[in-house]
Structure 1
Amino acid sequence: MTAPSQPARLAIIGVSGYGSIHLQLARESRQRGEAQITAAAIINPDQEAANIAELRSHGAEIFTDYTEMLRAHAGRIDLCLIPTGIHWHARMTIAALEAGANVLVEKPLAGSLTEVAAVRAAEQRTGRFVAVGFQDFYEPGTTWLKEELDRGVIGEIRSVRFLGVWPRTRGYFTRNDWAGRLAVNGMPVMDSPLNNAFAHFVMLSLFFVGGQDLVLEGAELMRAHAIESFDTAVVRSRTPSGVKLWFGTSHACADTVEPEIVITGSRGQAAWRYESEAWWRAADGRTERRALLDITGARRAMFAAALARLRDPAARICTTELAGRHTALIESIHRQGRIGVVPTAEVNWTGANGMTTQVPDIRGLGEALRRSYAAEQSLAEAGFRLGT
């Protein structure tokens, strides 16, 4: 715990890419007198000269190796920020915990359940906490909706369904060494829409259902992009108590569908709509709603929660237990599902031929996803067939 009058001592591993988001959040916290980056590991110093100069001007020590940073600052880091690639999450988190730091790690928690178990063991062993960066979990409207569901405003939950479609260019999957990969140098990644861009909303769906195990009932997985993993999926599962879950996502569709979660209960319905609102409506006509923060606001809420946890063990964070449920689902999808390659004749690429800005559009997918979502069916049941 940090003294209430002292700014929290932060370390950060990486300031490029998504790391720039964490850096900005830390910068805002420093300006409010809440926190101060005292150490940073930056593997590309030539490209980050301006940020390095700024960090040094505020007293931070710069390293090019995160292990050296943790060794040099062991016992002197209150919170270590880890906004890195999926295959680095577990090992960096464990190293930070063992150096005496609490951790805010980017989602997902890890690339496998084995890694999740290792992180949780380190957390228990060191007595430190790990907050996982599922930013929308920290949104006040999310907390409100969960509390309303738990008090039974729509009765018993019968089903939860989520749909999100964000077109992604060729360049999206060439931006780093792990995008679209199943593993990198033997380390699990399992990158996909469900484990990356839309992971937030899959995890929220699991959160709304509560701590129940899932049984996978079907996973339709396919790819149009030249990647190892899938860029399109419809996944159906259920809990032992019979709650049905449906997830539909794609990065290979020209349509954009902003993420939406719909929860159907025995006496009403609720919804959570990305950067828009959360609401519930009971069968007797009663209804309530809350506006949701935009993505910047959600990230700020996440950062504030991690800092609050340093001083208050009861402060709400996305725990490794909750994040582990998401990884369990992802692992079961990859274990039981088969990734199909979409025939080139079924894909229309928008944009100039061969350009990294091209986006694939699988023929008929957009409408099929909407039908499947509305009926909580598989794509096949909704009439989607490739090559017909």
Structure 2
Amino acid sequence: MSSSNSKPIRLGVCGLGGYARVVLKMLQAAADKFEPRFELVAACDLDLAAHGDLTPVLKDRGVSLYENYAEMLKHPALDVVWLPLPIQLHAPYTKQAVAAGIAVICEKPTAGCIDDLYDMIKVRDESGQPVFISYHTIPHSACVKAKTLLMEGVIGKVQHASLVASWPRHLQYYNRNNWAGRLKVDQTWVLDSPMNNALSHFVNLVLYLLGSSFDAWADPCWLDVELYRANKIENFDTVCAQLKNCNKTTAQVILTHAAKKQFGPELKIVGDQGVMWWEQDRIRIARHGEAVEVVYEHGDDDIAMRLSLVKSAARFIYGMPADGVSYTTLESTIPHMKVVCGASEATPVYDVPAEFTYTYDDPSNGPAVAIKGFEEVISACSDGGLMLHESGLLQFAKPHGSIDLTDYVSFAGPAEYQAISTNG
């Protein structure tokens, strides 16, 4: 598209429920705040009648409404579609749009497996249409500040990062649709998990901050991983992973949805001259021999934090320079997808025995399952750089699986599937 700022980017949103509501709020909050700007001209949902609170408002704003995605793509004034959709639809809907000559903003994660990601790249290249992936942490000022400081060497040569997060998820969360906690929907991989959904922003952020240049993501070459499930789901709700990257940096990631206490994401980056702590509202550093110093703070609420995403997406779709941030392209998300698929391929998901879990009642969301004492285990493993089974604190823990990710380009399927295939 032309880089002239006089013409708005005419946008269609696919979906009116769930996260699509957040997208619509973001677009409204961003209206007329910067150029280029989006103009919402179309929206589609398979069941418009289910959104009777919203459809009259959109009609009054002149937005064309559809119950068929293919029909919306025929809208005569459509430049780009935003896809806040279930994971299994990211690849096919992206490919359908770019093949029709329409640019795409696709929600995270990019796809359910790395094969779908490479297929998206192929179809995008054939069409020439831009595809932007919506990881909202990357264009926010906190991330930009952190990456800039790291590139300036504020803590010396970056060596290691550790990410821990406990984001409880209740039973209703896993029962809300046909893909939550699933490995596959029909014949399409989704690999839904903390690592490939709710906390994927921060796994991607770790890889970005460990990248050797401002616009580079670290490329994982080796993965050790343990996967567990306390909930009655197909995939895991708890993961401990250790990464070795091709640029000689390392990372540890411990995430769970099966705990009662919410904390994190807590991201610590270690260099040979100091330490940086990235948090969602501030950045702290401590150089060797010096006190901890707060070097950045912000008071943005959730929507305000996402305005930078809208601005970045608009500039990317327009073909404009990134203006001091890094664009998240399809290629940018290959490292994350390598980790997600590699984890599933490297080790089975082990059930947490019932005697090591308990059920509690969340006043807002109903019953939820938690692993006993897991919050303390996270801290001990993170502080000591230990895998869960190495800590000796979890009787049910199993030795980790490992996988070489150096030339990893295709998903062979989860370890459980491979075992069935081998033995069958």
TM-score by length of 2: 0.85
Deviation at 1:41, TM superposition (A): 1.1
Give the alignment partner of residue 277 of structure 1, picking from 276, 282, 287. Answer: 282
Pair 340,164 (structure 1): closer, same or farther in 2 beyond 3 Å? same
Q: Could you give the per-residue CA deviations for residues 201-258 of structure 1, whole angstroms, max 9, x where no partner exists?
A: 1000000111443133421111011100000111111123432210001111112112
Aligned residue runs from structure 1 range 135-150, under 5 A: 135-150=136-151
1:132 corresponding residue in structure 2: 133
5 Å-filtered alignment, 1:354-369, equals 357-369=366-378
Residue 43 of structure 1: CA displacement?
A: 1.0
Match of 2:351 among 312, 324, 341: 341
Q: Does the aligned pair in 2 maintain the 1:368–1:383 contact within 8 Å?
A: no
Aligned to 2:249: 243
Aligned-residue identity in percent: 26
The answer to whether the 8 Å contact 1:15/1:22 transfers is no
Residue 69 (structure 1) aligned with residue 86 (structure 2): no
Give the 3 Å change call, closer, same or farther, for CA 187–213 of structure 1 in structure 2.
Answer: same
Q: Is residue 164 of structure 2 the alignment partner of residue 163 of structure 1? A: yes
For residue 32 of structure 1, report the CA deviation from its aligned partner. 5.6
Shift in Å, 1:288: 5.6
The answer as to 2:262 corresponding to 1:256 is yes
Counterpart pick for 1:228 among 229, 234, 248 = 234
Secondary structure of the corresponding residue to residue 109 of structure 1: coil
What is the RMSD computed on CA atoms of the aligned residues?
2.1
Could you tell me which of 330, 334, 339 is aligned with 2:340? 330
For residues 39 and 320 of structure 2, what CA distance do their matches in structure 1 show?
21
- Answer yes or no: is the 8 Å Cα contact 1:109–1:132 preserved in 2: yes
Letter in structure 1 aligned against 2:182:
R
Q: CA deviation at 1:92?
A: 0.9
Instruction: Give the SS at the match of 1:163.
Output: strand
Residue 268 of structure 2 aligns to a residue in which SS?
A: strand
Q: Which amino acid aligns with 2:388?
A: L
Instruction: Flag the 1:346–1:288 CA change in 2: closer, same or farther, 3 A.
Output: closer
Give the drift of 1:386.
Answer: 3.0
Please state whether the residue corresponding to 1:351 is helix, strand or coil.
strand
The aligned residue for residue 296 of structure 1 is 303
Q: Distance in 2 between matches of 1:387 and 1:333?
A: 19
Paired AA for residue 19 in structure 1: A
Change (3 A) 1:217 1:305: closer
Structure 2: gaps (5+ residues): 212-216, 398-424
C-alpha distance in structure 2 between counterparts of 1:369 and 1:79, whole Å? 42
For the residues of structure 2 that align with 1:8 and 1:273, how far apart are their CA atoms? 33
Are the aligned partners of 2:29 and 2:307 in contact in 1 as well (CA < 8 Å)? no
Distance 2:358 2:224 in 1: 27
Structure 1: runs of 5+ lacking an equivalent: none
Q: CA deviation at 1:356?
A: 6.7
Letter in 2 for 1:385: L
Do the aligned partners of residues 80 and 217 (structure 1) sit closer, same or farther apart at CA in structure 2, a change above 3 Å counting?
Answer: closer
Secondary structure at 1:135's aligned position in 2?
A: coil
Number of residue pairs the alignment of both structures matches:
383
1:101-160 Cα distance to aligned partner (Å, 9 max, x none): 221111011111111111112222222221111111111120111121112221111111
**Is 1:158–1:264's contact at 8 Å kept on the other side of the alignment?**
yes
Please say if residues 223 and 339 of structure 2, whose CA atoms lie closer than 8 Å, have aligned partners that are also in contact: no
Amino acid at match of 1:332: G
252 and 129 in structure 1: CA distance in 2 versus 1, 3 angstrom threshold? same
Query: Any idea what the Cα deviations from partners look like across 1:26-65, whole Å, max 9, x if unmatched?
Result: 2334466932211111112111123221222222221111
Structure 1 segment 42-61 matched on structure 2, within 5 A: 42-61=45-64
CA distance in 1, matches of 2:193, 2:396: 24
In structure 2, how many angstroms separate the alpha carbons of the residues matched to 1:84 and 1:319? 18
- Per-residue CA deviations over 1:2-25 (Å, capped at 9, x if unaligned) read 542222200010010001011122
